[in-house]
Structure 1
Amino acid sequence: MTDQESFEDKLNRWTLSELKIERTKKNIYGERKLSRIETRIAELEFGTRNAAVVVHKVRDDLYIATARLENLGKLQSPQFDLRRLVRMCEEINSSWQHGNLIAVAALTRIVLDHVPPIFGYLTFGQVTANASRSLKAIFESLEQSSRKISDSLIHQTIRKKETLPTEQMVNCSQNMDVLLAEIVRILEEQTHNSSLQPTGFAGG
């Protein structure tokens, strides 16, 4: 089996999320293999017929860093199932790379509504109000600015004149990274503390 055949086998075996991770490994793959990875991603997302049209439009950068996604994916929390959060983050990245900015804003809003129980609260407003000084300003920006932007894009009814969102309008990736990093820290700490709990002794 040749190296190219082996690579093609991997392309067909990798899931969409795995392909997106492989796409970031520019130091491993040459230009030709990276192009094949992009084509395979487009085939899975848009269908084979439309893949050639959309491949050249895909951005290189990610909204949520691969390392952060890997951290979330590796967490084994006894209290929270993180699969939906990881999937939402993957869809934010996909939407960002393909220029689907309304979807980026909407998914950001969904994430903010999804994660408060990890912090021990019901709403992200409560998370923000009780955040430490170093995190409060960042969380306030997510709660106020990004939420208002997403609300305007989601709930605004059709008008005679419209303007489309820009990348600058919906990009709160740095603040989102801080939020996800804090989630990773909290859950890693909870998991560590749980492992230190005495299990007791069997018998009577």
Structure 2
Amino acid sequence: MTTLLNVTLTPDQRDLLEVIAAPWLARGEWPLWANVQHHFDMRGEDADAIFHSLPRVGTQTPFGAGYGFTLPMRAPVDGKDRVRLTVAASLVVPKVRPVGEQFVQALQHMIHLYTSRPMHFDQVPTIILRSEELEEALPDLPVWFFDVLPDLLSNEPTIITGGVHTSRRAWEREVTRSVLQYRRVQSVEGYIEKTCEIVVAAAAQYGPAIAVAATVAAEPERSPYIDAGLLAELETAAATNRWKVHKLIALCQGLNDAYIAENPYACAAMIRSILDHIPPVFGHTDFKHVAAQHVFSMKRNDKTHAQRLAAFKDIADDVMHRPIGHTTPRISMDDLPEPIRLNAILNEVVIVMPKSAPPTT
């Protein structure tokens, strides 16, 4: 069964989870992504690449039928967004382990509430978990845990709860039948294994489940190069102005097909075509001018992405224009730019498109 148990993380991946956990454990607040980036910037490392390399079970798309050590976030992650861990992180971050164990205790109490509810034949009772009652039922748990439990429940994909805060410390959550899936769970490992089983089964309803490697050395299946949600945003943005994105969408879809099929030549050609196609949105005729002169919304990060993509033009030219000869051409999927770079630029297209207009002919 596909699972997060026994997954081997790289030192950078483990460090990323620890950096995210630190302010949450200290103050009960998830960190802003820009601050996490800064930690890795000082070491000359790419936090975005590390974040998106973390293993997941089920689907790789954000907010789909998947589960990992963090809550999924679509690339590029905005610096003002807060990044969150899931209970699964307690498997691999020792300081988070007690939180995972406390979560399982709270879940067992929720199951007890639901299974001991009164039996009615003419109505369905609503079972409510209240913070003050939970503190009485589990007096050995730290006060801090009761403050963060609603947020944890909201981030776990297979437990359906809804509720309200009546004050900073007082809250109510509805306990639904979804908790019964965990009736036999007695440990953090049991909870995570069961959650992985549920999300993989859910992912199979929409397509083949994506297997998570037992170690980082194994080769995972590829997800689309261009995020599907981003393509939808492009179409929505174009609907309210004069820019026509039909060709751009077709090129992006062709790139996704080639990327999943692992055809590096077609991918390189598609990327080059997209970079040649979009400069007019920015008021330029060549992408190298976009990379050099455009003021991006995320100035430092996105400008770096644009400059790397502009430099990729030499490789794309080699792919498209080198004639047949006596030597075997050498290009692989590893020669392509990281997907986060082109996704960031296309996100900027979505931002800029309503503010600019196509040239008159």
TM-score between both structures, scaled by the size of structure 1: 0.63
Instruction: Note if contact 2:309-2:337 (Cα within 8 Å) is conserved in structure 1.
Output: no
Alpha-carbon distance in 2 for matches of 1:33, 1:141: 35
Structure 1 residues 123-154: Cα deviation after superposition (integer angstroms, max 9, x where no partner): 1122122123523322111111x111111111
Q: Which residue of structure 2 lines up, in the alignment, with residue 142 of structure 1?
A: 309
Aligned pairs for 1:83-94 within 5 A: 83-94=246-257
* Structure having the higher Rg: 2
Q: Which residue of structure 1 lines up, in the alignment, with residue 265 of structure 2?
A: 102
Indicate whether 1:183 and 2:356 are aligned: no
Cα–Cα, structure 1 residues 190 and 98, in superposed 2: closer, same or farther, change >3 Å? Answer: same
Indicate whether 1:73 and 2:235 are aligned: yes
Compute the displacement of 1:30 (Å).
5.0
Instruction: Note if contact 1:73-1:82 (Cα within 8 Å) is conserved in structure 2.
Output: yes
Aligned pairs for 1:1-204 within 5 A: 25-26=64-65, 29-31=202-204, 34-35=207-208, 59-75=221-237, 76-132=239-295, 133-134=299-300, 135-144=302-311, 146-189=312-355
Compute the displacement of 1:33 (Å).
5.3
RMSD of Structure 2 on Structure 1 (CA): 2.7
* Secondary structure of the structure 2 residue equivalent to 1:34: coil
Compute the displacement of 1:32 (Å).
6.1
Compute the displacement of 1:181 (Å).
0.7
TM-score between both structures, scaled by the size of structure 2: 0.37
Compute the displacement of 1:171 (Å).
3.2
Structure 1 residues 58-98: Cα deviation after superposition (integer angstroms, max 9, x where no partner): 94411111221121122214221011101111110000001
Compute the displacement of 1:172 (Å).
3.2
Structure number with higher strand proportion: 2
Would you identify which runs of 4 or more consecutive aligned residues in structure 1 move more than 3 Å? Answer: 22-30, 188-191
Cα–Cα, structure 1 residues 31 and 137, in superposed 2: closer, same or farther, change >3 Å? Answer: closer
Please, which runs of 5 or more residues in structure 2 have no aligned partner? 1-58, 67-198, 209-219
Aligned length: 148
Structure number with higher helix proportion: 1
